């Protein structure tokens, strides 16, 4: 939960670097929240409670809109940790390239984007 909150604290900060742990914990927590929201949508739709179904759909849309900028920022900072520009995000259609970069360990020591977030 700390990693998730850390990403929200640095909401629009595209500078610097983010560790693998920060990125993947944010990813995991988002996946859990999204799963919970989809379960709500499905549950309210299955029992045909129209107002609650609409509210849950709107809540899901609001969550996606709210989390977009922090997700983008932590993704760019994760690329910075591997000494790559945030412009690599434009390769999103080729998701395997980004996934490979997100899995890589960060460059040791300081790189052009700042000091190593692991401390050292």
Q: What is the pLDDT of residues 54-95, one digit of tens each?
A: 888 899 999 999 999 999 999 999 889 888 888 888 876 677
For the record, the structure tokens of 65 come out as 């809109």
Q: How far apart are CA 61 and CA 82, in angstroms?
A: 32
Is 17 inside a domain boundary? yes
Considering the entire predicted model, what is its pTM?
A: 0.79
Q: Is the dihedral of CA 18, 24, 28, 34 positive or negative?
A: positive
- Alpha carbon separation from 28 to 2, 35, 92 (Å, rounded): 12, 11, 19
Number of domains in the chain: 1
Q: List the domain range (segments joined by +) for residue 46.
A: 2-103
Mean per-residue pLDDT over the chain, rounded: 85
**pLDDT of 110 above 90:** no
The DSSP secondary structure of 84-95, one letter per residue, reads --GGGGGGTTSH
Is 113 inside a domain boundary? no
Nearest CA to 53 out of 45, 61, 64, 62 is that of: 45
**pLDDT of 16 above 90:** no
**pLDDT of 25 above 80:** yes
């Amino acid at each position: 939960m700390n990693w998730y909150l850390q990403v929200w604290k640095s909401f629009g900060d595209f500078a610097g670097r983010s560790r693998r742990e920060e990125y993947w914990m944010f990813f995991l927590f988002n996946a859990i929240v999204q799963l919970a929201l989809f379960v709500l949508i499905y549950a309210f739709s299955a029992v045909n409670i129209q107002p609650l179904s609409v509210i849950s759909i709107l809540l899901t849309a609001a969550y996606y809109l709210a989390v977009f900028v922090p997700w983008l920022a932590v993704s760019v900072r994760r690329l910075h940790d591997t000494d790559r520009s945030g412009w690599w995000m434009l390769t999103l259609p080729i998701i395997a390239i980004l996934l490979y970069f997100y899995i890589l360990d960060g460059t040791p020591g300081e790189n052009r984007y700042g000091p190593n977030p692991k401390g050292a």
